[in-house]
Amino acid sequence: MTKIVFGTDGWRGLIARDFTFDNVNIVAQAIGFYIKDTYKNRPVLIGYDTRFLAKEFALEVSNVMNQMGFDTLVSQNPIPTPVIAYSALAYKSAGAVMVTASHNPPQYCGIKYIPDYAGPATPDITDEIVSNVKLVQEGSMKIKEGIEKGKMSYFDPKEQYFEEVKKLLVKEKFQDLKLKVAYDPLYATGLGYLNELLPAISKCEVTTIHDHQDPTFGGGMPDPNEKYLSELKDYVIKNGFDLGLANDGDADRFGVLDEKGHFYTPNQIISLLLRHLVKDRGFKGSVVRTVATTHLIDKLAKHYNVTLVETPVGFKYVGQQMRESDVIIGGEESGGLSILGHIPEKDGILADLLVVEMLAYEQKSLSHIWQDLITEVGYEPFNKRLDLHLNDEDKKNFINTFKNQTPDHIGELKVTGSKTIDGVKLLFEDGNSWMLVRPSGTEPMVRVYLETDSKEKLTMLEKAVTAMLPNG
């Protein structure tokens, strides 16, 4: 029996080895039994990305739901996660099932359940679904015979989502905007969204590369980080664009390049947009970041007198805060954000559009706005994430090095505090430096996040951590 493991955002596996029709059937039943206990007489929405067999897997989910008595609305076309999430709320549904592996390689697929509040399922919900998976596998939880079957229909919420996003933007700032924007959907679900919406609300010239959907993502990765945006970078530089924008496989993450082709990390973009929303648009409320996300946000929060909330890693925790209070912006270093008034789910399409709006307000290039921010707070962070591949024993021993007894120093920096919100986070005496050691929940890997105020300190911290590894 294949072990079905749920990570921070649903279940993912290798297509044909782990992610099979039989296992999709089991997970669909597990979600269906959760829905049956939670909702009455509401449809289940089902979406899918551009991966191999993703639509067929989605139809399998629909078939299971129909057998269990639920009506289903299946996306007419591949759909971004933020769009299906928005629809889960707008259609008064019993939640949505999204077939996607997000930014993972093309040989992977996945399933995540999005409740009717339009954000990631919280741990209590996923725990119940995981429990149901085991019961279905054991045969002690079965679909009852004689249930009146539900019906399947197709739907397309694209225009409705467009109208929702327009409400979140200041349309007057877009009407006469004439930026040159290059967009890379990375052969995935963002195609037909950003590249259609931005020209519709502005006079921007938007040119799209990789402008067809491909289950192999052009032989690359549907991940909008610097490593996989080299073609967009070259295109921006050679053709004199003002911005380069991108989205990942299911368009819940963003990628941004400035007019020089320089890549801006999610840490930078979240910080820039916090400043924009407070300074330019007068938003009030708190800012929420995960424990692994830059402390530049903390400095901006202090500068603008905004309350800061820190959560464990995973947008489900950010989204939960957004559902409970007024949050100006919530974000995580891995490339997800949402804002006040929008769904409590990552939205890479909106993130890209907000960057454009920021340029419209400031009437400056992105590189100039970044320099303004750094000057304003007097601090520029230097970050790095180390992905340390360790066997189970070494992984446990390495984590325990920090968990059982807080070190006095890491390299030349004195440790002055620690947090255990998620993993072990060490704070250093200079007030600008920190590191987070966190085990992966699904891989033999430890992730170490480093942040400090100079390249020299960053190199020193990296060497110090490496020296602490088994056989380091």
DSSP state at residue 279: I
**CB within 8 Å of 129: residues ≥ 6 apart:** 6, 27, 30, 31, 34, 113, 121
d(CA 385, CA 462): 9
**CB within 8 Å of 268: residues ≥ 6 apart:** 294, 296, 370
Topology agreement, domain 6-156 and domain 382-467: no
Q: What is the pLDDT of residues 312-335, one digit of tens each?
A: 999 999 999 999 999 999 999 999
**CB within 8 Å of 157: residues ≥ 6 apart:** 75, 79, 83, 84, 86, 87, 90, 91
**CB within 8 Å of 53: residues ≥ 6 apart:** 15, 109
E strand segments, 64-161 = 72-75, 96-99, 108-114, 152-155
Domain 382-467: CATH superfamily, name plus number: Alpha-D-phosphohexomutase, C-terminal domain (3.30.310.50)
User: Is 186 or 471 the better-scoring residue by pLDDT?
Assistant: 186
d(CA 394, CA 378): 40
Domain ranges of the chain: 6-156, 176-377, 382-467
Kindly state the percentage of the chain with pLDDT values over 70.
98
pLDDT grade for 394, boundaries at 50, 70 and 90: confident
d(CA 341, CA 395): 41
Residue 441: predicted pLDDT: 61
Lookup: tokens for 396: 């446990």
Q: Is a pLDDT exceeding 60 seen at residue 92?
A: yes
This prediction's pTM: 0.95
- Three-state DSSP class for residue 75: strand
Q: What is the pLDDT of residues 339-380, one digit of tens each?
A: 999 999 999 999 999 999 999 999 999 999 999 999 999 999
d(CA 321, CA 162): 25
Cβ atoms of residues 78 and 50 within 8 Å? yes
CA end-to-end span of the chain, whole Å? Answer: 38
Domain 176-377: CATH superfamily, name plus number: Alpha-D-Glucose-1,6-Bisphosphate, subunit A, domain 3 (3.40.120.10)
Cβ atoms of residues 319 and 345 within 8 Å? yes
* Mean pLDDT score, 80-105: 97
Q: Is a pLDDT exceeding 80 seen at residue 193?
A: yes
Q: What is the pLDDT of residues 215-269, one digit of tens each?
A: 999 999 999 999 999 999 999 999 999 999 999 999 999 999 999 999 999 999 9
Tell me what the pLDDT averaged over the chain comes to.
95
d(CA 427, CA 164): 41
To the nearest 10°, report the CA torsion of 169, 175, 177, 180: 80
List, in sequence order, every residue forming a beta bridge with 7; answer none if it has no partner. 10
DSSP string, 373-440: HHHHHT---EEEEEEEE--HHHHHHHHHHHHTS--SEETTEEEEEEE-SSSEEEEETTSS-EEEEEE-
Q: Is a pLDDT exceeding 70 seen at residue 472?
A: no
Kindly state the percentage of the chain with pLDDT values over 90.
90
* Mean pLDDT score, 456-462: 96
Using DSSP bridges, classify how beta strands 263-264 and 96-99 pair: parallel, antiparallel or unpaired: unpaired
Q: Is the dihedral of CA 72, 79, 96, 58 positive or negative?
A: positive
- Three-state DSSP class for residue 278: helix
CATH class of 6-156: alpha beta
- Residue 193 sits at the vertex; the CA angle it makes with 190 and 194, to the nearest 5 degrees, is 90
* Mean pLDDT score, 418-422: 93
How many other β-carbons are positioned within 10 Å of the β-carbon of residue 338?
A: 28
* Mean pLDDT score, 436-448: 82
From 75, 88, 276, select the one nearest 168 (Cα to Cα). 276
* Mean pLDDT score, 135-141: 94
Q: Is a pLDDT exceeding 70 seen at residue 124?
A: yes
The distance from CA 120 to its chain's CA centroid, rounded to whole angstroms, is 10
Q: What is the pLDDT of residues 201-220, one digit of tens each?
A: 999 999 999 999 999 999 99
CA distances (Å), 69 to each of 33, 51, 143, 230, in order?
Answer: 11, 28, 10, 48
Q: Is a pLDDT exceeding 80 seen at residue 3?
A: no
pLDDT grade for 442, boundaries at 50, 70 and 90: low
Q: Is a pLDDT exceeding 70 seen at residue 459?
A: yes
pLDDT grade for 59, boundaries at 50, 70 and 90: very high
Residue 288: predicted pLDDT: 98
